[in-house]
Amino acid sequence: MELFDFTAFPVLNTPRLTLRQLLPSDAEAVFQIRGDYEVTKYNTGKAYATVQEASDLISAIESAYQAQNEIRWGITRKGHSLVIGMCGYNYWVRHDRRGSVGYDLARAHWGQGIMSEAVRAVVEFGFNHMGLNRIEADADARNVASTRVLEKIGFQREGLQREQFYEVGAFHDLVLFGLLKRDYLKGSL
């Protein structure tokens, strides 16, 4: 199995999607996603007010990729260039062979299994080409859609951090998830 070494950005294909590198020209599309409070409320907590914030995010993702700390993909429907979501590893701890996934999707595309399809591809890439042994994720306990995406793929609930963060005048619980390579392989047999 070939390990990924950052020489070329890995494009991932699924039945309906192409996951590709985010480009400066995707700023407007990313703003459409992150400018929607319904998308950000359980995630970053705050919707972007300007396209510049989306440009800054794309630059930050690119810098983290160049530093070989992160890899995040722009999600497009096959045959279309418009970015409808993002998905990828927010960190990668080489020593532990462990990475953390995060994602978000434009509201118009919710409820069609898109993110489950994208995260599955990213998880497979992590186990098969990043050499990961463990993939972790966390979600606001109120974020049922996100916890469902993780559970469908086989992530286990590993714990709940009570009142882990403060937002919009209240404390909120955070659910922790993990998926081990051996469990993933068992599940896909």
Ligand X SMILES: CC(C)(COP(=O)(O)OP(=O)(O)OC[C@H]1O[C@@H](n2cnc3c(N)ncnc32)[C@H](O)[C@@H]1OP(=O)(O)O)[C@@H](O)C(=O)NCCC(=O)NCCS
By CB under 6 A, name the binding residues for ligand X. 39, 42-43, 103-105, 110-116, 139, 143-146, 148-149, 152
Is the CB of 58 or the CB of 149 nearer to ligand X? 149
Nearest residue to 30 (alpha-carbon basis) of 100, 101, 105, 121? 105
Least distance to ligand X, CB of residue 89, Å = 14
Distance CA 113, CA 84 (A): 13
Is the CB of 130 or the CB of 139 nearer to ligand X? 139
Is the CB of 93 or the CB of 145 nearer to ligand X? 145
Q: Where are the alpha helices (DSSP H) in the chain?
A: 27-34, 37-40, 51-66, 114-129, 144-153, 181-187
Least distance to ligand X, CB of residue 180, Å = 20
Least distance to ligand X, CB of residue 44, Å = 9
Least distance to ligand X, CB of residue 171, Å = 17
Q: Which residues pair with 160 in a beta bridge?
A: 175
Neighbours of 142 (CB within 10 A): 12
Structure tokens at 122: 């990213």
Is the CB of 144 or the CB of 160 nearer to ligand X? 144
